Amino acid sequence: MSVTVSGAIGAPVDRVEGKAKVTGQAKYAYEYRPGEVAYAAIIPSTIARGTIRGVDAAAVLELPGVLEVLWHGNAPRLHEVSDGELEVMQSDRVSYRGQIVGVVIADSYETARQAERLVSVQYAPETHDVLLRADHPELYKPEKVNPNYAPDTAEGDFDGAFASAEVTIDCTYETPAEHNNPMEPHATTAVWEDGAITLYDSNQGVVNVKTTVAKAFGLEPGQVRVISPHVGGGFGSKGTPRPPVILAVMASQAVKRPVKLAVTRQQMFAITGYRTPTIQRMRLGADRDGRLTALCHDAILQTSTVREFGEQAALPSRMMYATPNRRTTHRLVKLDVPTPSWMRAPGEAPGMYALESAMDELAIACGIDPVELRIRNDPEVDPETGNRFSSRNLVACLREGAERFGWAERDPQPGVRTEGRWLLGTGVAASTYPARRQASSARARYEPDTGRYTIQIAAADIGTGARTALTQIAADALEVSVGEVEVQIGDSSFPEAFLAGGSMGNSSWGSAVVKACRELRARMAEDGHDSPAEVEVNTKEEAAAASAEPLAKHGFGAQFVEARVDVDSGEVHISRALGVFAVGRVINPKTARSQFLGGMTMGIGMALHEESMIDLEFGDYLNHDLAGYHVPTNADIEGMEAVWLDEDDPHVNPMGAKGIGEIGIVGTAAAVANAVHHATGLRVRDLPIRPDKLISALPRRNR
């Protein structure tokens, strides 16, 4: 596979849409005003399980400005819906608290919100179950885990090897539910006109939204257009259509006017996805030299009664370290909760927290440095499949990080470094994420009047800088300057592209852009530059050919963290965090650094702050806003650095680049937990590491 000549690729190009964003010219979904707009307000269910006995909206419909109230008794019937979460108001059944049971449409937002509170919904509640536990009687083995992996795998004789191992670790690690909280909430402006629908929608893939809406409302694909040029974050929650976009189409149909619908921050905790809580048992067996002889990773997760979603938490344990005896399992239980879904680095983020915490405990038990332990267990080929890696530079990341971080000066004894009332400790963990690629299409056009090139692709920029990276990729493929190229994205009328998710956006889209630009350049070499020229391509054949040799394709990294723990309050600060990554060629170092640091910040939040707390009585999340759902601030993280190694992997795509959007979060939580243990001697195995989990033990140990 050929690789583009370096030019624009690798340069720290400013975001091409930066000026539009800082001056307010960039429009987001809720900011479009196509004519006389109405406003929709969601009516959420107030029970976690049961049925709706009746809805009384008569008085509300008499209020000035109220246009319509929809509920299951008068809502349009949907056609083909493959996702049970999208069967909005199709029955009287309530499957979780916060489920959409109605919508008010009014002339103003204020009127819609007031009227929503006045609609009377009568329920027949039933006993609900919202608690994930390891001994739940209804745990079952799913047919697959996200997206289509086998739930269980086994090689060798784990039980025998573990029983005879010289050193063993048997620990259970827990992570809570976590919620995607992008700055821009899920929002849609729906315009129903002449039997067709145009949606200005905040999403991570316009093609998915277009296809889903067309099927749900019995429309031809040409009757649906989705426009999403700017997206204020998603973190996976906008990867596939959510109930609000279906509701917005219903509302626009009902009142025959454009309708705006924005999900409130509180409602986002119920209807836009979240990371499932996990209970993960890790069993490691090793010889005295720290070489693994047995590994078992058992993951217990929740799903909903509406649709099955199985987080692939045990997946990284299948390929991370060499061992002749390995077993991984996933078990689910259907609870009366919303359906969990993708959140940045699904599977790897919680799974690597458990694995890398256990590896730290194994290093201590063996009396081996944690960096050295990982190096000793680095495999030559993929342990699960036996396939060779397209490139694997985990050891290089560990060694580079150790040198930069000053790891050699570390005293392995926990709880011995102090600065006043602060205990200091350092921790390390490995990172990994698959390097995937999907077929996409792109259009490249040359206009002789302006001498400029236009690239169109139905990609999404969710704040990652994708538009800028694609501009650089196109410029190199065309052998022109960045200023001569305009990349247009976020419109379903453009050539189809895979969604922004799984860290495969630039890999998938960039491959299509490279092909389109090279074909356009070849055509212009024959026909000259005096006439307009245009080509449109897809990369189905190339994507298939890229998987001809079954290579294991992954990015790798190493996370190093220094934590400070206040012995008086149990408060944890991160004084230093360093991430070192091997992710192929970096398209844009400026935007890449932002992605790495953003992921690392989320990983620190996962370790210390993020926790959606379920109320067992009402079946709802208690802290369903950003006042109660805590994320890191400047005061929590004093210094952070992200660097990367020079790596060119020609097997993954024409650019030689791997995805970077998610690997930054992976391993960070474990590195923090390992650092806290090194600082205090206390091992917290259930995230987040709140002060109350430390303070009760700190005085006995350190005063």
478 contacts 485 by C-beta, under 8 angstroms: yes
Radius of gyration of the chain (CA): 26
Rounded-to-integer distance, Cα 395 and Cα 645, Å: 11
Would you say 437 and 543 are in contact if contact means Cβ atoms under 8 Å apart?
yes
List phi, psi (to 5°) of 85.
Answer: -65, -25
- Which residue, 51, 95, 61, 55, is CA-closest to 75? 55
Q: Are 325 and 383 in contact (CB under 8 A)?
A: no
The length of the chain in residues reads: 703
CA distance 446 to 451: 7
Shortest CA distance to 562 belongs to which of 338, 372, 420, 410?
A: 410
- Asked if residue 247 lies in contact with residue 237, where contact means CB atoms within 8 angstroms, the answer is no
For residue 12, list its beta bridge partners. none
Q: Which two tokens stand for residue 616?
A: 């067992």
Provide the token pair at 699.
């005085």
Q: What b/e sequence results for 142-161 when a residue is b if at least 16 CB atoms lie within 10 Å of its CB, and e otherwise? A: beebbeebebebebeebeeb
Q: Give catalytic residue positions.
A: 662
386 token code pair: 């036996």
Helix, strand, coil % in the chain, rounded to nearest 5? 30, 25, 45
Q: Measure the CA–CA gap between 588 and 408, rounded to whole angstroms.
A: 32
Question: In what helix (H) or strand (E) does residue 494 lie, and over which residues does it extend?
Answer: none
Residue 297: φ, ψ to 5°: -125, 110
DSSP H/E element including 247 = helix 243-255
- Helix, strand, or coil here: 83? coil
> Which structure tokens are listed for 250?
């219903």
State how far the Cα of 246 lies from the Cα of 103, in Å rounded to an integer.
12
Nearest-10 crossing angle of helices 466-478, 505-527: 30
Distance CA 500, CA 460 (A): 6
CA triple 467-468-469, angle to 5 deg: 95
Whether the CB-CB separation of 453 and 532 falls below 8 Å is answered with no
Indicate left, alpha or beta for 570 from its phi (over 0: left) and psi (-120 to 50: alpha).
left
Burial state string for 173-194 with b = 16 or more CB within 10 A and e = fewer than 16: bbbbbbbbbbebbbbbbbbbee
Tokens of 3: 């690789």
CA distances from 641 to 420, 579, 598, 599, 608 (A): 26, 6, 11, 12, 19
What phi, psi does 463 have (nearest 5°)?
105, 0
408 secondary structure, DSSP code:
G
Question: Position of tokens 């990172």?
Answer: 431
Q: Which residue has the tokens 């905040």?
A: 202
Q: What is the DSSP code (8-state) at residue 13?
A: P
Rounded Cα distance, 164 and 175, in Å: 30
> With contact defined as beta carbons under 8 Å apart, do 214 and 226 qualify?
no
